[in-house]
Structures are given as C-alpha cells and as structure tokens.
Amino acid sequence: MRTSEIDVVGGSRYRAFDVESVKGYIAGVAEIADRLGTSNAEAMTAREVGDGNLNLVFIVEGPRGAVVVKQALPYVRLVGDSWPLPLKRAYFEWNALVRQAACQPRRLPHLFHFDPVNALIVMEYLTPHVILRKALIAGRQFHNLAEHMGVFLAQTLFRSSDFCMETSKKKADMALFADNVSLCAISENLVFTEPYFDAPLNRWTRPQLDRPALALRADSAVKVGAQEMLYRFTSKSEALLHGDLHTGSIMVTPDDTRVIDPEFAFYGPMGFDIGALIANLYLAYFSQEEHGGDRDERLAYGEWLLETAENIWSVFAESFARLWREERTGILYPRRLFEDVGDAAGATVGLHRFLGAVFEDVIGFAGAKIVRRLVGLAHVEDMESIADPERRALCEARALLMGRELLVNRTTFNDIYGLSCLARSIRTERKPL
C-alpha cells in the first residue's frame, strides 16, 4: 500500500509522490509551472516538510517562486499502512478551503490547483510564516492573533450557519460533508472515547502519569461529560467547521495569520473549533515553565496565552453579534419576527442565549481536546518536547486536571475569565500527581 499506485479515480491512477516525482508532476501543470518560472523539473527543488499525522507536504521551488503541494496518503502517516484512510479527504479539504475563502479570504493560503486523482492541493507557500505551535513553544507573542482568529471563527461559522446561509445551499453542503465519515470517526473515537478506556493506541508519560491517566477510566463524571460532548459533536449541524483547529493548523508572522488543513471539515457545533483552539493555548500554558529562558518572562508569557484565549472568545462573540445584526438572512431568527415588527430586543435575547450555548460547548470541547492530547494516541509538541519525563508529567498532570474540570463542570463558568482563573490556580498546584 505504501508505494506508488494504489487507487483509481475515473481510470486514472493515484501516485504517492516523493521529492523527485513531485517536481515532474508540477512541471506538467502549466499554471503552476508558470508560477515557478520553469516547466523543467530539473530547474526545481523540492523538500518534504510534513510533520503532521496524516499527509505529505512538499515545498517545490523554481527560479521565480515556490508552492506547497499537500498530498493525502492512503493511510494514517502517524501509524502506518495498518490504518487505511480514504484519499477523498483531500476533496473535503479543498471544498472546505474554497468555502472558508469565500467567507474570509485573508486568513487562508491562496489556492492554485486541486487534483482529485492524486488527492493533492497546490497552494501558496506561506513565508516567512511559521507554525503557531512552534512559535508558542519558542515564547513568541502575536498581537493580532486573537483579533484575526476571533473574526475568522465568527465569519466562517456564522456565514455557514442557518443564521445566514440559504437553507437549500446549507443542506446541499451538509450532504457533501456528511461523507467525510472516516475523518469524523477519527475525532469521534480519539477525542471523546478512547482516552477513557484501554484503547490499544493510547499512550502517556509512563509511569509518571499513570495514576491520573488510569483514574479517567473509573471516573464516571468525566466519561459522561466526554460522551455528552460527543453527542453534541454528532448531532449539532450548526456550521461548517474546520474540524481540527489546533495551533499546528495556524501559520503566523508578527502581522499575519493563516488557517490551513481543514481536512476534518464537516457540519458540526461551532464550539468545537473555538474549543480546539483555546484547548491548545491551555496546553501551551501548562508546558511553559519547561521551555527554558527566564522564569518571570515565561510566567508573563503564560499570562499572554490566557489573555489570547480570552480575547479570541471576546472577539468571536463581538464579531458574531455584528454579523447577527448585519447579515442575518437565513431561516433562523428572521427579521420579520423581530426587527421588522419593532422587536429588536427579542432578537438580542436570542443572540445572547445562542452565544451562551456556544460558550458551554467551547468549554466542554476544550476539556475533551486537552485530555485526548495527554493520554490518547496523538500528542502535542508543547509537551512532547519536554525531555525530562518527571517534569513533563507534572505539566501534563496539571493540564489533565484542567481538561477534566472543563468537561465535568462546563456549566458552572460565567465567562471566559473564569477559565483563566482556573488555569492559574491549577498551574500553582504542587501535587497534581
């Protein structure tokens, strides 16, 4: 399975490229070759830079420019060919990118080419952008990040919801993305269920984290919390989600922010994307002290991470409210029931009740996302890069406490600042293990 030709679409064959064959491929796509300034493969260079769990990512350069080629593999890269995965995920990713670009073009890479047979997307090479997760490990601050991401989330989520989108279009889209079954199944299993039983691919820092990791299996409250969030994940088709919005899916410069990799896209609960993002900021927060440098600077940096999570939610809520007032053209809360008959206040009540429900989802999904990155299959570099297992386990145990608390007590938080207070109090917890 791992080698060249493994799948057929309409009589053509899929090939998994390598750094040589990808150049030949690009040389044969006139529009891209033009962009690179050559149709001669030998005048190009290519390197494979994918460090995610699923795909190949090549940077192909020519004399006049460079592009990124992202190609799906027919299996989970992290695990190997024992875990097959449909190539069609590239089709869902392309469709999600196109739709998100229609909502918020400034936050996405430019898209150049989609090849459904080879399951690949050619897009802008973002430079000097870096992966946000790596920048957070390095202790770098990005002052536009919360504003950019809050607006991105509000625009992509509101504009793909029944508050805005024409209902026939939304239903057609829901049907299209409903077929992204395998990628949804990864989230359903890995985020909500496997961390809580003896699933074969689970792992954690052993033996240091054994006690809290194993305690999850006997913890009815956290298991019920996770399953309640799974129920929302599978049953709330609120908006087109990115579906995997962690800090490895965001690329940044001091001024710019771009969102990549929406291959897990489907119609789901808005809080899942927002919760994923803030969960990863909390994971960064709990790992801070072990990333070296001046202790006071790292503490201040931790405060910036919490403030960023707060601001993402506030900007999201403000932007969502603006869209609610200005672009509410869908079947939900039609103006003829409210503003047109002098009941603007009624619509505002509806807005606040809806945002309250999203906020509760954000908290629960953030909790589930934190837990799965500590005791499930796929971990995060923020923690994995801490070499000393004793110190890593201490950070992970604190994060695990936070994740559990968010899942179990998600209805008890009045506002996003309450989550920051909880994180601060857990960070100083001396005996989480």
Write out the residues near ligand SR1 by the rule CB under 6 A.
Answer: 52-54, 76, 78, 186-187, 190, 244, 378
Nearest to 176 by CA among 99, 120, 244: 99
Please say which residue, 323 or 378, places its beta carbon nearer to ligand SR1: 378
CA 52 to chain centre: 12
**378 contacts which partner out of Mg ion, ligand SR1, none, CB within 5 to 8 A by kind?**
ligand SR1
Strands 45-48 and 55-61: antiparallel
In the bound complex, what is the minimum distance in angstroms from residue 299's beta carbon to ligand SR1?
29
**278 contacts which partner out of Mg ion, ligand SR1, none, CB within 5 to 8 A by kind?**
none
Which amino acid is it at 66?
A
Please say which residue, 187 or 287, places its beta carbon nearer to Mg ion: 187
DSSP bridge pairs for 120: 71, 115
In the bound complex, what is the minimum distance in angstroms from residue 249's beta carbon to ligand SR1?
8
Residue whose structure tokens are 């459904």: 116
- Report whether the peptide linkage leading into residue 432 is cis, meaning its omega lies within 30 degrees of zero: no
In the bound complex, what is the minimum distance in angstroms from residue 244's beta carbon to Mg ion?
5
Strands 257-259 and 250-252: antiparallel
**73 contacts which partner out of ligand SR1, Mg ion, none, CB within 5 to 8 A by kind?**
none
Compute how many residues bind Mg ion; rule: CB under 5 A. 2
In the bound complex, what is the minimum distance in angstroms from residue 355's beta carbon to ligand SR1?
26
**78 contacts which partner out of Mg ion, ligand SR1, none, CB within 5 to 8 A by kind?**
ligand SR1
Decide: is 93 part of the binding site for Mg ion (CB under 5 A). Answer: no
Please say which residue, 378 or 423, places its beta carbon nearer to ligand SR1: 378
In the bound complex, what is the minimum distance in angstroms from residue 243's beta carbon to ligand SR1?
9
- The answer to whether the beta carbons of residues 248 and 385 sit under 8 Å apart is no
**76 contacts which partner out of Mg ion, ligand SR1, none, CB within 5 to 8 A by kind?**
ligand SR1
Nearest to 103 by CA among 37, 59, 163: 163
Please say which residue, 52 or 139, places its beta carbon nearer to ligand SR1: 52
Decide: is 381 part of the binding site for Mg ion (CB under 5 A). Answer: no
**55 contacts which partner out of ligand SR1, Mg ion, none, CB within 5 to 8 A by kind?**
none
In the bound complex, what is the minimum distance in angstroms from residue 291's beta carbon to ligand SR1?
22
Please say which residue, 259 or 419, places its beta carbon nearer to Mg ion: 259
Binding to Mg ion (CB under 5 A): which residues in 245-304? 261
| E-state strands within 62-110 | 66-72, 75-76, 80-84
Q: Which long-range contacts (CB under 8 A, 24 or more apart) does 106-114 make?
A: 107/148, 107/152, 107/257, 107/258, 107/259, 108/258, 108/259, 108/260, 109/68, 109/258, 109/260, 112/31, 112/32, 112/35, 112/67, 113/29, 113/31, 113/32, 114/90
Please say which residue, 85 or 363, places its beta carbon nearer to ligand SR1: 85
Please say which residue, 149 or 397, places its beta carbon nearer to Mg ion: 149
Please say which residue, 264 or 304, places its beta carbon nearer to ligand SR1: 264
- Using CB under 5 A, pick the residue from 15, 25, 36, 52 that binds Mg ion: 52
Instruction: Return d(Cα 346, Cα 261) in angstroms, integer.
Output: 38
Number of H helices, E strands in the chain: 15, 14
DSSP bridge pairs for 15: 5
In the bound complex, what is the minimum distance in angstroms from residue 123's beta carbon to ligand SR1?
18
Binding to Mg ion (CB under 5 A): which residues in 412-431? none
Instruction: Return d(Cα 100, Cα 386) in angstroms, integer.
Output: 35
**Binding positions for Mg ion, rule: CB under 5 A:** 52, 261
